[in-house]
Amino acid sequence: MFRRIGTAGLLLFALTACGGGDGPAGASPSGGKAASAKGGPAKAEPVPSPAPTRESEVERVLSKMSVEEKVGQLFMPVLYGTSATTVSGENQARYAARTPAKVIEKYNLGGVILFPQNVRSAGQVVALTNGMQRASKKVPLLIATDQENGQVSRMGTLMTDFPGAAAIGATKDADLSRAVAEATGEELRALGVNLDFAPVADVNVNPRNPVIGPRAFGDDPARVSKMVAAAVKGFADAKVAATAKHFPGHGDTSVDSHTGLPVIKHTRAEWERLDAPPFKAAIDAGVDAVMSAHLVFPKLDPSGDPATLSKPILTGLLREKLGFDGVVSTDALNMAGVRKKYNDGEIAVRAVLAGADLLLMPNDLPRAYRAVRAAVKSGRISQQRLDQSVSRLLTLKQARAGLSEAPVASAQRAADVLRSPEHRKLAARF
């Protein structure tokens, strides 16, 4: 923790460090005043103020935020339209605001996730992300998408057609995993996207898995770990935030959590051997975020709640056992797997209490926002707990998007980077 020191305190600190704290400024070792070149007393050199630290900048921004603004930072919904000012009946119906810009302003949103309905052309996406950033007056946005490559590629044909994780894992070449992630990150950043919900860190040990399959790097924990760690480093090379998903592991299920609630029957020892290693590798590689899974894991938490709402899993295992202190994102909160037991407001509150920081795609944003705000004001969610999440989100923004000034994407840069000859040559290696 850093403490701001006044100008007088800085001068005293500088003198003390030089051994001159007992005498007047400018005193020479002999006790007489040092002379300037013109024979007069020397003027004390001005002491420069220290550069602000990351911690102090985050604390400064946090200290100026209201409860409502802090709560808004937790949410990342889907917005409708191909520009920040597109009037959409969908926005009006869901959020009681007509345009993406108005929704961002109304809820003080921390982020937005892009889907194919937001995408028409590279120049259009650049204008959309820049417009969204301008709508966020106080704190830059996290602008995210699911660009895993392969079957989950939200940017469609705008970006280089890289293969999915299974094809990369089959090469056993971690350098290729890193190179593809870096190229993907460079293209996303050129579009104004600063957070990718990739790589998949699940170990696909169930051939009947309907939701992971080729999205995973394979069925061997050691190989998946190596590929995931390399991908995390590749995204970091491109200065785009990476997200390891879906914790504590979605690889051994025959149920799709979009439509049902999977149950993983691994023992704690099996989880440590099969599921945990890629997430540990991602954390060791410096991953920015980890996404939770909407699945029940009775041997890790017997409550019957999905991992997204489980404090023993998100806090006990991910935070305390694996030592992760970055952003914990939920998987989409409109999925059936998380909506079996609780309403949309209670789901958001329980996710925060479990240890989540980023509430992705709530089914009912107004209800979820009001529920979290009410939980903070009643003390059910403490101010300290809220500040923990907002601090993590601000720290991530500072690293990948900036805090004092939002990044601005360039249509020319996008034209140069997207589907570049270098990236197409890399894709042709598969």
User: Residues 140, 419: contact at Cβ < 8 Å?
Assistant: no
Is residue 103 helix, strand or coil?
helix
| Rounded Cα distance, 331 and 362, in Å | 10
Residues designated catalytic: 258, 331
- In 226-337 the beta strands, taken as DSSP E runs, fall at 243-247, 289-292, 327-329
Instruction: Show the DSSP H helices in 246-343 as ranges.
Output: 268-270, 276-284, 311
C-alpha angle 229/394/363, rounded to 5°? 85
- Rg of the chain (C-alpha set): 25
**Which helix H or strand E contains 422, and what residues bound it?**
helix 421-427
CA atoms within 13 A on the CB side of 413: 13
Pairing of strands 152-153, 147-149: antiparallel
Residue showing tokens 């480093």 = 233
End-to-end C-alpha distance for the chain, whole angstroms: 48
CA–centroid distance for 371 within its chain: 23
- Helices 174-191, 221-237: inter-axial angle, 10-degree rounding: 40
Question: Are 348 and 77 spatial neighbours (Cβ–Cβ below 8 Å)?
Answer: no
